[in-house]
């Protein structure tokens, strides 16, 4: 596992946190590192990549919109040209979809949703299983290529201190065909980080009594730069869209801070958020199962507690 390719992703013109986490895990490990970027922005991240010791960046600037066909061709070609025996990516809608397909094309090993990665004496990988009811070590075959996807927010971000020269290699492997075409992009309302990438989440359930009370959570979330999530019950009631659902048949999240407001903690919800580092539960029912998973619990009226919390944080941050 000496030759590694990292899938680079951008946010506001610089490397996304998830990409930095992956590159940080390689700092000082003496690996040969390539990166691959689908879409524009290669020049804007070149310097950052050099600090992390990346020596070549495969790029196809024309791939501005995700299409499984063209993206599969691009990443398969970049991996082949780099000769990488390990491909690292941060797990999200795009990488999960395309890299599984790439794995089948290249006959490569594929593992998603890993939460531990280190390179001390070989590669060490672990991942949660059965909704984090247990975890397992991951063994990769040493021959051939392996593709490993890490959950966001699991690894520390280190500053790169290398001074390599990163060469941008333009590819044109990715082309679309008539079997699959992008027809439209419907932009979501939220400008915030997605739940799966958010480092802080404020989530609401039935205890909020009605849809408009989610505004109270939005206010709290704005103060601490968090993303708002929801329980299945309120999604099924139509209060908020499915994209906000945390738990089974929704999203699996693992932020540093998860604040559950008026959520009782059905097992399907716990399955999606129990990997969070610190869990705060605010609920009127002291017997709510959410308190079993929580680090800090407040038995109280959300309509009293949440505005006070927002005020106090606003005053002190």
Report d(CA 274, CA 267) in Å as an integer. 10
Interacting stretch for other proteins, rule CB under 8 A, among 30-38, 126-134, 159-167, 206-214? 126-134
Q: 48: closest CA among 75, 78, 85, 8? A: 8
State which of positions 96-125 bind other proteins (CB under 8 A).
Answer: 96-98, 100-101, 103-105, 107-113
Are 280 and 296 within 8 A, CB to CB?
A: yes
Q: State the SS3 of 61-112.
A: CCCCCCCHHHHHHHHHHHHHHHCCCEEEEECCHHHHHHHHHHHHHHCCEEEE
Interacting stretch for other proteins, rule CB under 8 A, among 21-29, 161-169, 214-222, 239-247? 239-247
Three-class secondary structure of residue 166 per DSSP: coil
Nearer to other proteins, 47 or 296 (CB): 296
Verify binding: residue 224, other proteins, rule CB under 8 A. Answer: yes
Q: 254: closest CA among 131, 106, 120, 79? A: 131
State which of positions 294-313 bind other proteins (CB under 8 A).
Answer: 294-301, 304-305, 308-309, 312-313
What CA–CA distances, in Å, run from 240 to 85, 166, 244, 252? 43, 45, 7, 17
Nearer to other proteins, 160 or 272 (CB): 272
Report d(CA 162, CA 54) in Å as an integer. 9
**Cβ of residue 207: shortest distance to other proteins, in angstroms?**
15
Verify binding: residue 129, other proteins, rule CB under 8 A. Answer: yes
**Cβ of residue 30: shortest distance to other proteins, in angstroms?**
25
Verify binding: residue 168, other proteins, rule CB under 8 A. Answer: no
Site string for other proteins, 170-209 (x = CB under 8 A): --------xxxxxxxxxxxxxxxxx-xx--x---------
Interacting stretch for other proteins, rule CB under 8 A, among 20-28, 29-37, 48-56, 236-244? 236-244
State which of positions 71-100 bind other proteins (CB under 8 A).
Answer: 72, 92-94, 96-98, 100
Angle between helices 214-224 and 302-316 (to 10 degrees): 20
Nearer to other proteins, 54 or 273 (CB): 273
Three-class secondary structure of residue 233 per DSSP: helix
Verify binding: residue 249, other proteins, rule CB under 8 A. Answer: yes
State which of positions 20-59 bind other proteins (CB under 8 A).
Answer: none
State which of positions 130-159 bind other proteins (CB under 8 A).
Answer: 130-141, 144, 146
Report d(CA 195, CA 246) in Å as an integer. 8
**Cβ of residue 284: shortest distance to other proteins, in angstroms?**
12
Three-class secondary structure of residue 256 per DSSP: coil
**Cβ of residue 192: shortest distance to other proteins, in angstroms?**
7
The DSSP 8-state label assigned to residue 141 in this structure reads P
Counting residues that bind other proteins (by CB under 8 A) gives 100
């Amino acid at each position: 596992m000496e030759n590694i390719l990292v899938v680079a992703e951008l946010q506001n013109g610089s490397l996304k946190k998830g990409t930095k986490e992956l590159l940080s895990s390689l700092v000082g490990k003496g690996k040969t590192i390539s990166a691959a970027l689908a879409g524009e922005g290669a020049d804007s991240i070149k310097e950052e990549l050099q600090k992390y010791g990346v020596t070549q960046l495969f790029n196809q600037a024309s791939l501005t919109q995700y299409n499984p066909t063209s993206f599969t061709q691009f990443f398969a070609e970049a991996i082949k040209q780099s000769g990488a025996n390990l491909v690292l990516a941060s797990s999200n809608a795009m990488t999960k979809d395309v890299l599984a397909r790439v794995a089948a094309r290249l006959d490569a090993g594929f593992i998603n949703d890993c939460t531990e990665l280190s390179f001390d004496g070989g590669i060490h990988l672990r991942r949660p299983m059965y909704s984090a009811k247990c975890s397992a070590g991951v063994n990769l075959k040493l021959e051939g290529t392996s593709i490993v996807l890490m959950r966001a927010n699991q690894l520390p971000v280190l500053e790169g201190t290398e001074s390599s020269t990163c060469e941008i290699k333009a590819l044109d492997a990715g082309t679309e065909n008539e079997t699959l075409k992008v027809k439209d992009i419907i932009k979501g309302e939220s400008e915030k980080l997605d739940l799966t990438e958010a480092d802080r989440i404020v989530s609401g359930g039935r205890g909020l009594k009605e849809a408009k009370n989610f505004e109270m959570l939005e206010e709290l979330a704005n103060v601490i730069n968090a993303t708002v999530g929801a329980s299945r019950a309120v999604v099924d009631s139509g209060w908020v869209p499915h994209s906000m659902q945390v738990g089974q048949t929704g999203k699996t999240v693992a932020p540093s801070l998860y604040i559950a407001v008026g959520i009782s903690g059905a097992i399907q919800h716990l399955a999606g958020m129990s990997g969070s580092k610190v869990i705060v539960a605010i609920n009127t029912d002291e017997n709510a199962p959410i308190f079993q998973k929580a680090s800090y619990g407040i038995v109280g009226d959300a309509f009293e507690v949440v505005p006070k919390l927002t005020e106090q944080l606003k005053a002190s941050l």
